[in-house]
Chain A
């Protein structure tokens, strides 16, 4: 099953490499991965399409959330969302076929970006299926070059994924699990690697027998 995951990550070198490496090291299959800027210059947003069953998807999300430079993660298993993919495609076009292609493009709400003596470049955006359908239709004319951005996605409705917004960290969505209040609410001391010492003999002897 294909799943869409979005992640807000710190905008710094090495984060993309870390995420990509985690996927390959753990044998998760990426269909597409898109990174771009957000409203916050310190954060980038990744949209990742993975092929995974539900259990693997849980692991993918948790492993992403575990990376220190990954700030928030969510998937859209149970959430309606909108998605878009953007494509540029350069087609062979003779004066005879040109108008046909333009007509097809406009049926798909595409734009012609460039016209050459025997070529035509079309920009098209939409859900992935729509782009696939268009590619199918124009293939007979001859595709010279094709570039797609890969999918970006966003939940429908008012929920926003940002540093201050709704919490989409890898654990809350996984629900049955012990979703615990973040440290900020929990208060108290942080969990440090405990400084150990050997218990004294008395402490051990104090163990109730049986």
Chain B
């Protein structure tokens, strides 16, 4: 088998036919290229080719340029303004180009950090995150971020250095089979063997990473590809004959879906990360309002629906609200939008939504009927499909249904007792919610704190929750916050982290310092891997095997990096500490000492149905013991 360049004239698929404009080649206007920001890029209706903003095709504009130079030029043309990474021998030609400062480059402390930063950047902005690292260990350090982004469908492009093409396979210094290692965790990856293929591959990478169901792409760049020059006219037309984009849903399916919805007495909207990716929050809002349907969101979908709306059921699933889970189990029509029926959401599949007809709007056909048999599939982009569905929606009072939901909400709010010596982690999050009014980008690590963030922030803004859902990557919070801050320099970015998660990537404090990023970090320090402790307490007879942490003084540690550090361990200080953290103009790390022996509830034990969740304190809570959600609204 061998690589090949795009042939002329083959039909169908992206780039298989030429853009007509290319013939009058010479003149190009790269500066008009769509940057993913505007979302106004178009498709050539004749060829199905996404128009990149200027014509592609055979061109002499790369002649005389070396691979690294072409790469930087194309990044700029594709609207890239920021990138993250770390140098090394095999990628030095590219770093030499970065010296020109055409793009803002963030030098990290560990390549894993670069990957999560690019991911956080992408989640906060919708633009693809860009990573540039060296061969061997530099590239392998990006595997966890690639897997994280792949699981959550996040657009990202990693450029890794590679040994010279003629050395590949010889166990050369810092050689690793990076395309082999990353194949299962990328949407597509490439080993560029000839500089003449590079422009086409970069064009393809941007299309693949950002369109359809987004995902990470890796491009492996041997040193001789980045250093050798293009000598002839080459064709940079993307060639993707096997790549299909789904946009508008099938009208028959949409009609069928709306017939089921309009007939339903107890419908529930179940909205996931796909609604955020497709920027469909307005359509979700309008469908819920027009058809009068309550709406729950997944961990990755929070923010796609305003939680101040009385129709909001907040998050569902293993640690979701009791009222969302009961509503799903009782519903006669479940409308999934850009959500993938993850096992953390469904609990025992055999017991999931037993009475419901299931409608699934998703851009990826392989998501349909993967875990749960779907009755009405609508394959397409959430925003476009919902817009058509709204047209057919009928308003229904559904009074009994909303009354039932209101009664569950009164009976089983998220709650806790703030009765320990140290503040409860939930109280700290609630305070952050009150002080910020939810107007911030929040990142998290993985564990109990992550679930409490989902439960106790009142989500109102799409993209404001930045968390590793599918892979559950501890150490994600701090670098993701850095990435979000780079993408959103004027907005408040807060990493609400666990002590154990935080220290996995805490070296990136040095990056924060070097680039003066005003990231805030609130560590919910329970001196434990709390989530592990909870499982050991509940399912392993209280044998806390290797889950207790002896931590450094996080405030002093931050100060040693030149970052403002604070510590808070008294309930009465929580509010003013949160205010001080947010008012501090620069970066700030707060070590919130909080109660250890606190568990996340509700909790659906594994193997159980959603309605069989353990409510913990909720069931017996006297009305004033915890805060009701209403008080947050």
A→B interface (CB under 8 Å): 9-18, 21-22, 25, 41-42, 44, 55, 58-59, 62-63, 65-72, 163-164, 169-171, 174, 176-180, 182-199, 204, 207-210
Contact = CB atoms under 8 A, between A and B. Distances in A.
Contacts, number: 214
A194 B277 contact: yes
Contacts of A194: 39, 126, 277-280, 383
Interface stretch (B359-367, B442-450, B555-563, B597-605): B359-367
Interface string B254-288: 00000000000000000000001111111001000
Given A178-B380, A190-B211, A195-B279, A65 B2 contact: no
B606 interface: no
A188 B383 CA distance: 14
Given A178-B253, A183-B48, A191 B246 contact: yes
A183 B306 contact: no
A22 B184 CA distance: 7
Given A18-B183, A183-B245, A196-B462, A44 B364 contact: no
Residue of B37, B48, B183, B366 with highest tally of chain A CB at under 10 A: B366
B377 interface: yes
A42 B365 CA distance: 26
Contact of B11 (A163, A188, A189, A196): A163
A189 B210 CA distance: 13
B322 interface: no
B188 interface: yes
A190 B209 CA distance: 12
B439 to A, nearest CB: 7
A193 B47 contact: no
16 contacts: A66-B366, A72-B242, A177-B365, A183-B48, A184-B12, A184-B47, A187-B43, A189-B39, A189-B43, A190-B211, A191-B245, A192-B36, A192-B41, A194-B279, A207-B285, A207-B306
Contact of B10 (A58, A163, A207): A163
Contacts of B369: 55, 58-59, 177
B247 A191 contact: yes
A188 B384 CA distance: 11
A184 B3 contact: no
Contacts of A55: 369, 373
B42 interface: yes
B12 A189 contact: no
Given A68-B243, A178-B377, A189 B41 contact: yes
Contacts of A198: 439, 461-464, 491
Interface residues of B, number: 94
Contacts of A192: 34, 36, 39, 41, 210-211
Given A65-B365, A170-B365, A194-B383, A204 B460 contact: yes
B370 A44 contact: no
Contacts of B191: 13-14
Interface of B: 1-4, 7, 10-14, 16, 34-43, 45-48, 50, 122, 124-128, 155, 179-180, 183-184, 187-189, 191, 207-212, 214, 240-250, 253, 276-282, 285, 289, 306, 309-310, 363-366, 368-370, 373, 377-381, 383-384, 439, 460-464, 491
A191 B184 CA distance: 24
Say what secondary structure dominates the interface of chain B.
loop
Contacts of B384: 191
B462 A210 contact: no
Nearest 5 CB-CB pairs, A to B? A194-B279, A184-B48, A195-B126, A62-B366, A71-B242
Contact of B278 (A13, A41, A58, A191): A191
A111 B381 CA distance: 56
Contact of A178 (B50, B244, B250, B462): B250
A22 to B, nearest CB: 8
A33 to B, nearest CB: 15
Nearest to A16: B1
Nearest to A22: B184
Contacts of B14: 183
B377 A182 contact: no
Contacts of A199: 281-282, 461-462
Contact of A182 (B48, B250, B306): B48
B381 A191 contact: yes
Given A16-B1, A183-B245, 19 more contacts: A14-B191, A63-B366, A65-B244, A67-B242, A71-B13, A164-B11, A178-B378, A180-B246, A180-B249, A180-B380, A183-B48, A191-B247, A191-B381, A194-B280, A195-B125, A198-B462, A199-B462, A207-B306, A209-B310
Nearest to B154: A193
Contacts of A59: 366, 369-370
